[in-house]
Amino acid sequence: MIFDLDGVLIDSESLWDDARRQLVEESGGAWKDEAQQAMMGMSSSEWSDYMREELGVPMSSEAISEAVVERLAGLYRERLPLLPGARASVTALAQRWPLGLASSSNRPLIELVLELAGLADCFEATVSSEEVAHGKPAPDVYLEAARRLSHEPATCVAVEDSTTGLRSAAAAGMGVVAIPNRAFPPEPDALALADIVLESIQALGPERVAGVRS
């Protein structure tokens, strides 16, 4: 099994939105209403380039990424927005299958979240989209997670919440469990790619996954 992070294990999309928006406004750029939706699923290099080129942040892409990550890390240390049921679900599933994580978050944030949540030992492989050629909706991050788990993608099940994430997992040829993001609901055609749709991660247990892929 391979989990997404933001929107699946932690309720963080609004925090990403706030951190990026604040940096744009403080640096003299111009925020766009569609910016958060546009950046969902992008790798760090992709969204940093977007903020520099489309939102007018007068900084290098590397500096933009570092500034946003620093803001988010501070927020996570103050209060980790772990979704109800996430820890129990991950713990239960880790007892049955090897778990991976395929996230658009930067590597330092992935490690910080899993450490603060007490879940680092549950995951045998974690991949940031900054470590592959293309971010979601390309399948790269899921294919790399499967490779690190030494499993064929077709035998894996992905857990996703967003349009780009659902398309990424489906493009990788995996079974797909959708837990739709309430703040940024996936598009209907992306949601249709899922094998099952759940209301929350609290409903995600071994019995719900077993029928998706063996």
Catalytic residues: 4, 6
Q: How many CB atoms lie within 10 A of CB 33?
A: 7
Residue type, 15: L
Burial class (CB in 10 A: 0-12, 13-18, 19+), 133: exposed
SS percent in the chain: helix, strand, coil, step 5: 50, 10, 40
The closest of 139, 172, 140 to 154, measured between CA atoms, is 172
Q: How many CB atoms lie within 10 A of CB 42?
A: 20
Whether 191 and 180 have beta carbons less than 8 Å apart is answered as yes
Query: CA 96 to CA 147: how far, in whole Å?
Result: 19
Whether 124 and 99 have beta carbons less than 8 Å apart is answered as yes
Per DSSP bridges, beta strands 196-197 and 2-3 are unpaired
Q: Measured in whole angstroms, how far is the alpha carbon of residue 2 from the centre of its chain?
A: 11
H or E segment at 210?
A: none
